[in-house]
Amino acid sequence: MEGIVLRSTGSWYDVRTPQGDSYKCRLRGKLRLKGFKTTNPVAVGDRVHFEIEDEASKSGLIVDIEARRNYIIRQSVHRTAHAHLIACNIDQAILIATLAMPRTSFGFIDRFLVSCEAYDVPAVIVFNKTDILTDEGLAYQAEIMDMYTSIGYRCLDTSVTKHYHIDEFRALLDGKISLLSGHSGVGKSSLINAIKPELNLKTSEISHYSQKGKHTTTFAEMFELWENTFIIDTPGIKEMGLVDISPQELSHYFPEMRQYLGECKFHNCMHVHEPGCAVREAFERGEIADTRYHSYLSMLENHDNRR
Ligand SMILES: Nc1nc2c(ncn2[C@@H]2O[C@H](COP(=O)(O)OP(=O)(O)OP(=O)(O)O)[C@@H](O)[C@H]2O)c(=O)[nH]1
Ligand SMILES: [Mg+2]
Ligand SMILES: [Zn+2]
C-alpha cells in the first residue's frame, strides 16, 4: 500500500491512501534513514509504503519511505546534534507574520527566508492581523511588503477578523502543498479555519501579559483543503535555527546580493568591511535594504559565536 503521512504523533503516523482511506501506522524497527540525523525519521508529507496489519482497526506498518523532493528541518537553536524534521515534499512555505500581537522581527523573517532558499522551497510572506494596525502601521507594513516583493518574495496582507484577502489567500494555496509557519499566536490555525471552517482547528487568544501566543497547535498536521490542495498547520516557533549554512555561502541565500557576488575585489569576501566589496557598496547606495543587510551581518555573527 502507498500513502502520504498527514500526521505524526510520536510513534504513530496517520497515513492516507490515494483512495482516501486512513491508516494508523507504526514504523518498522529496521527502517533507518540514510544520510542525516533527525529526532524523527518520518514526517508530515512523507510518501510511504506500508503493509496492512489489521484491516478492521485500519492499522499498518511502514516499510519504506520514498526519496524526498525537499524537506524543512528545524535545527535546535542551541545547536545540539539533533534536528527535527518538520515536513517533506512541500511546494511552498508560507510565513505568517504580524507586526503586532505578537511582533515578528525582521531577523526572524530573514532567517526563515534564508532557510527556505537553502532548502530550495519557494517562500511567501503573509502579514496577518492588518485590522489591528493604525494608519501609520499600515503604511509601514506596505513599505515592508514592497521591499520583500522587490527582492522576489510574494507577499499578502490579510485579516481573519475582517475577512480581508481571504480569497487571495485561498488562491495562493490552490493546487499546492503549503506549509504554514510562524510565531505562536500569529493566526496560522485561524487562517486555515477561515478557508475551511469544518476543520474547526483549535485557536486561542494571545496572552495579554506577554503579548505572545500560547502554543495552541502542538504538532504538525496536514489537511486536504480540496482536490490537489493540502495545507500543513504547524506549532508556533520561537526561533528559526539555521541548518548547515557556512558563512561563505550565506550571501547566496540573499537573492538581492547574488548579482553583486562576482564583483567583490576579494574572491573570499564576506561582505562585512573588506575594501572593494560590491555588496557593501550596493548597500551604501541603498540598493540593499538596511534591515536585510543587518540580518545578514547578524546571521554571520551568530554563526561565529557558535564555534
Ligand atoms: N485581530 C485579529 N486577531 C486574529 C487574526 N487572526 C487570528 N487572530 C487571533 O489570534 C489568536 C491566535 O490565533 P491562532 O490561530 O491560535 O494562532 P496560531 O498561529 O495558530 O498559534 P499557535 O497554534 O500557538 O502556533 C486568536 O485569538 C485569533 O482569534 C486577525 O486577523 N486579526
Ligand atoms: Mg495554531
Ligand atoms: Zn563583498
* Rounded distance between C-alpha atoms, residue 14 and residue 24, angstroms: 5
Structural domain boundaries enclosing 13: 2-65
Do 178 and 112 reside in the same domain of the chain?
Answer: yes
Largest CA distance in the chain: 71
Whether 134 and 206 map to the same domain: the answer is: yes
CA distance 204 to 216: 6
Whether residue 256 sits in one domain with residue 206: no
Residue 35 has pLDDT above 60, yes or no: no
Which of these, 73, 136, 122, 135, lies nearest to 94 by C-alpha position? 122
Residues 223, 141: one domain? yes
Query: CATH number of the domain that 151 lies in?
Result: 3.40.50.300
List pLDDT tens digits, range 59-69.
Answer: 999 999 999 99
Does the beta carbon of 141 lie inside 6 Å of ligand 1?
no
Q: Is pLDDT above 60 for 36?
A: no
Helix orientation angle between 188-195 and 166-173, rounded to the nearest 10 degrees: 90
pLDDT tens, residue by residue, 157-170: 999 999 999 999 99
Could you tell me the distance, in angstroms and rounded to a whole number, from the CA of residue 263 to the centre of ligand 2? 45
Helix (H, G, I), strand (E, B), or coil: what is residue 239? coil
Q: Which ligand sits nearest to residue 288's alpha carbon?
A: 3
The pLDDT confidence band at residue 39, using thresholds 50, 70 and 90, is confident
Query: Within this chain, do residues 218 and 283 fall inside the same structural domain, yes or no?
Result: no
Residues 87-111 have a mean pLDDT of 96
Residue % of the chain over a pLDDT of 70: 93
Residue 9's pLDDT is what? 80
Q: How far apart are the first and last CA of the chain?
A: 46
DSSP letter string, 27-51 = E-TT---SS--BS-SS-BT-EEEEE
Q: Which residues are annotated binding-site positions for Zn(2+)?
A: 264, 269, 271, 277
d(CA 217, CA 233): 8
d(CA 123, ligand 3 centre) in Å: 25
Which 3 state secondary structure label does DSSP give 256? helix
Tell me, yes or no, whether 77 lies in a domain.
no
Percent of the residues in the chain that have a pLDDT greater than 90, as a whole number: 78
Per-residue pLDDT, 41: 85
Query: pLDDT tens digit string along 194-236?
Result: 999 999 999 999 888 888 998 999 889 999 999 999 999 999 9
| Ligand 2 centroid distance, CA of 70 (Å) | 23
Q: Is 129 exposed, middle or buried (0-12, 13-18, 19+ CB in 10 A)?
A: buried
pLDDT reading at 244 higher than 90: no
Cβ(151)–Cβ(255) under 8 Å? Answer: yes
Asked if residue 172 belongs to a domain, the reply is yes
pLDDT tops 70 at residue 80: no
